[in-house]
Chains A and B, each alone.
Chain A
């Protein structure tokens, strides 16, 4: 995150390779000790699309893919999100021109980045004033409804980047393996930072994505219909910073995650279905810390994954009792 005068520029990237496994984060700015969530305060989000074609994806196809991706986010129940395509533009998707632009840019220097989202925000209120998404035309893209072999699906990547545009950070609900390069084994969030292999589709929001976007734009009905889990992760009596905590619903299989974001190891996971949840904690042990949190933080990834030995019932419209998990070093 780089601050520019009274505004902030935030770049979040989707790497072509790397590892991970965690849950939703909200983007924000810090005001003193307070964290201000980034969000659009007025709807619809008005956006332009660059009038530049790339092989296999024309500008109208990019417009259509972006429209479908916006509609997917707007289709989450009880969230107030809408968007409006304004028109094609010759402008590049770069911050500072006052317009929200989505388009292709050739960045061969970013050989692990499929796309990136940047913002101009009011750092006091957290309101997003402008956001731009670029898709790296160095890679091979596809707009085919069923995808194409060896080409990245533009709608899948647009869905991820528009998640950022709306204020979501990365999720760590996914697993990777290093077999000569990081390869995703599975992911249960569109906001997982590492893309699936070319030719795959990832156009469906998961429980973690829904909880995250609802946490930002959800109506009161959402907050009254869901609940949250709160607690603390410790090791040798001290808080663990950067631990990934998953709430798993044994009834539905839904997983929603969160992070311990302060040195005392406390966490909150909101937007959970009421009822019993199984809580699991794991280290940020196989991912790029910078994909999730400020890499300057003193992240502790030296502990074993563990389950909390009690089921935790999430009350409707409320917060569970505190879940305190003591982890041990690897």
Chain B
């Protein structure tokens, strides 16, 4: 939220003469994984003690793996240093559940499914300087849509993100972009009802008109 507040303030900067410049770009991205919860297969114990520990049939712990994917961008420079950017990203993490400690000695196993994760949203980008080498910070919000394997279920929610990186323009049109940041999702694939914040990295090319 702090990043967002800063960027909203930046919007009040006066627009520059070349504010109509449009950039498109694409990157390979990677997102970090996170713990997705632990849960045991408990059974009610045969005990007259109401505080007796439950009988455990087996235990599980789950994770969402780090993922790779692609991102597309369309940016409009509203001033020499500020741009508004629309983004669309798709990544393919896995949801994994480790089952172990089975009472009947079922072999421990990691069960998984592939998830397709979509993000569509907008960011504000502030460049610290002009020229070929452009350090920048960016932040924004997205709509998150994650599909279970076979499209058998969907999780949707809001995401906010912030980070920074650099652009390097080889000439008037083509440039390289590398960035790192954090993506925080209020709802996401997993077995815990809590916000998950994951690191993100991206490297790609930009083209400006």
Contact = CB atoms under 8 A, between A and B. Distances in A.
Contacts of A175: 43, 55, 57, 103
Interface string B73-117: 000000000000000000000011101001111110111110000
A173 B191 CA distance: 23
A156 B124 CA distance: 62
Interface string A283-323: 00100000000000000000011111111111110101100
Interface residues of B, number: 39
B44 interface: yes
Contacts of A197: 46-48
Contacts, number: 131
A250 B106 contact: no
B106 A315 contact: no
Given A175-B55, A306-B107, A307-B99, A313 B149 contact: yes
* Interface SS majority for chain B: strand
B60 A250 contact: yes
A200 B52 CA distance: 12
A202 B153 contact: no
Interface residues of A, number: 49
Contacts of B42: 186, 188, 253
Contacts of A249: 39
B152 A315 contact: yes
B48 A147 contact: yes
Nearest to B102: A305
Interface in A199-255: 199-200, 202, 206, 246, 248-253, 255
A311 B113 contact: yes
Nearest to B54: A186
A278 interface: yes
A282 interface: yes
Contact of A200 (B46, B54, B95): B46
B40 interface: yes
Nearest to A147: B48
A197 B191 CA distance: 34
Nearest to B152: A313
B44 A320 contact: no
Nearest to B55: A186
A183 B46 contact: yes
A278 to B, nearest CB: 6
B13 to A, nearest CB: 46
B111 A311 contact: yes
Given A253-B39, A253-B41, A314 B152 contact: yes
Given A307-B111, A315-B153, A321-B150, 5 more contacts: A21-B57, A186-B42, A275-B148, A312-B113, A313-B152
